[in-house]
Structure 1
């Protein structure tokens, strides 16, 4: 079965370009065909919606295993980001938004405090979601899920290439975009205290390995493109940049 005949499940991992992705996805479908912002209490509504044949893509801050609610052919796709950079971005993102539910706590913390006080946000977020085990992330399970049930695992650092592969896999049309929801006031990784970076590396050991694994698969997919597609990718990247 082709990917464009399956229900597409977009796993939005925080601070991986998800708002930009949402805007791109919404350009591909009629409003009746797409559903975003899934939470547990919304699943009954979604299950009812899925009984209709017009739903083609669902997305949100979900985890692997969501497909079990749907009882129809499916495939996942997602974007990863350098794990250290992702955590730093999330911390400063919260600081910029007083309406964020974590803001009252986070505004009193430095980055090291945030890492220690918010372990689910600051450690192995990719592996937790892709393995389907939020509390006990499993690297090998995440790798198997990627190989078996993910059409594309893109990278924020290779956003254009990732998006182009999604276009090819899902039969999308216009994938031009402007980045939105970008965290503006934050230091680069190079300017962070070394002990903070070291702590992040320890806490994201699984995500660092999963990122490297996913990058290898992504580069293989790009290498397998035919000459015409590679030229199309180059032209698209020139337009975006």
Structure 2
């Protein structure tokens, strides 16, 4: 366990959708009072981001945890030292989970249209309204791209890799228990039994997918697949040498880095 002086002043939990983030988020919530937590609301992220950016320095000093889907760039508006914490998921499993989740949730804005057309996974992959869900979503969010119409390019991928390597403590959904223990030890969080939250029942399994559909998921997630491979390497390195991980991360930002002008969070 690390000395208290090595702990980040602010944890930025970048919750990538369908990565078991809600279950993990509850662990962070247990360690802080409500007044120390800032939530970027998923239904109105723009208003939340503007609210965070408008906080006074005094108010920012009280924040210990900032959490949300659209979060990259928040470190410019919190106290240093900060650390991003995130979970990545196998891209194929994430797409299957997202499809199953949306079609099982009546309150989702795409639910009715999906059911009215009896939409298959194959159709879902090419549907214009679902592209942010099915194409390199993890890469975009880690790069700071929240605009659903922006394409994922090589430059976006490079930004995501840089952010992951320099700023993030990363866990993997496929190794949830190990990730949780790692976070607890490095961040000095109290151990907690984590209930499974937001679990999608009757989810499609990879073994049920036709080869051509599986190939299409791979084609649309080339950057996410490459990013996940990077995350696996970082995860293994952290497990092998957890005591030095914080010393390798950039935990302060006195000025905006070269990618700031491309970050949607900054532009809002």
* TM > 0.5: yes
CA contact (8 A) 1:12 1:79 kept: yes
How many residue pairs get matched?
225
Q: How big is the shift at 1:148?
A: 1.2
Q: How big is the shift at 1:54?
A: 2.1
1:21 corresponds to: 24
- Any residues of structure 2 matched to 1:174-213 within 5 Å, and which? 174-213=191-230
Q: How big is the shift at 1:72?
A: 4.3
Query: Which deviates the most, 169-178 or 156-165?
Result: 169-178
Task: Give deviations 1:45-70, integer Å, cap 9, x for gaps.
Answer: 33427632321001011142232344
CA contact (8 A) 2:165 2:234 kept: no
Q: Are 1:51 and 2:58 an aligned pair? A: yes
- Any residues of structure 2 matched to 1:158-169 within 5 Å, and which? 158-169=175-186
2:142 corresponds to: 130
Give, in whole Å, the separation in 1 of the partners of 2:138 and 2:162: 14
2:254 corresponds to: none
Give, in whole Å, the separation in 2 of the partners of 1:63 and 1:202: 27
Partner of 1:68: helix, strand, or coil? helix
Counterpart of 1:32 (choices 32, 35, 49) is 35
CA contact (8 A) 1:163 1:175 kept: no
TM-score, normalised relative to structure 1: 0.86
User: Relative to 1, partners in 2 of residues 1:198 and 1:174: Cα closer, same or farther, differing over 3 Å?
Assistant: same
CA contact (8 A) 1:49 1:55 kept: no
User: Relative to 1, partners in 2 of residues 1:189 and 1:2: Cα closer, same or farther, differing over 3 Å?
Assistant: farther
Give, in whole Å, the separation in 2 of the partners of 1:43 and 1:142: 20
Give, in whole Å, the separation in 2 of the partners of 1:87 and 1:2: 40
Q: How big is the shift at 1:224?
A: 2.0
Structure 2 residues without counterparts, runs of 5 or longer: 244-268
Task: Give deviations 1:129-186, integer Å, cap 9, x for gaps.
Answer: 1112342332222111111111x11100011111112112221112321211111112
2:69 corresponds to: 61
Give, in whole Å, the separation in 1 of the partners of 2:219 and 2:63: 41
User: Relative to 1, partners in 2 of residues 1:225 and 1:194: Cα closer, same or farther, differing over 3 Å?
Assistant: same
Task: Give deviations 1:179-226, integer Å, cap 9, x for gaps.
Answer: 111111122101111111100000001101110110011011112258
User: Relative to 1, partners in 2 of residues 1:3 and 1:61: Cα closer, same or farther, differing over 3 Å?
Assistant: farther
CA contact (8 A) 1:27 1:174 kept: no
Q: How big is the shift at 1:16?
A: 0.4
2:10 corresponds to: 7
1:141 corresponds to: 159
1:234 corresponds to: none
Give, in whole Å, the separation in 1 of the partners of 2:80 and 2:229: 31
Partner of 1:182: helix, strand, or coil? coil
Q: Are 1:115 and 2:125 an aligned pair? A: yes
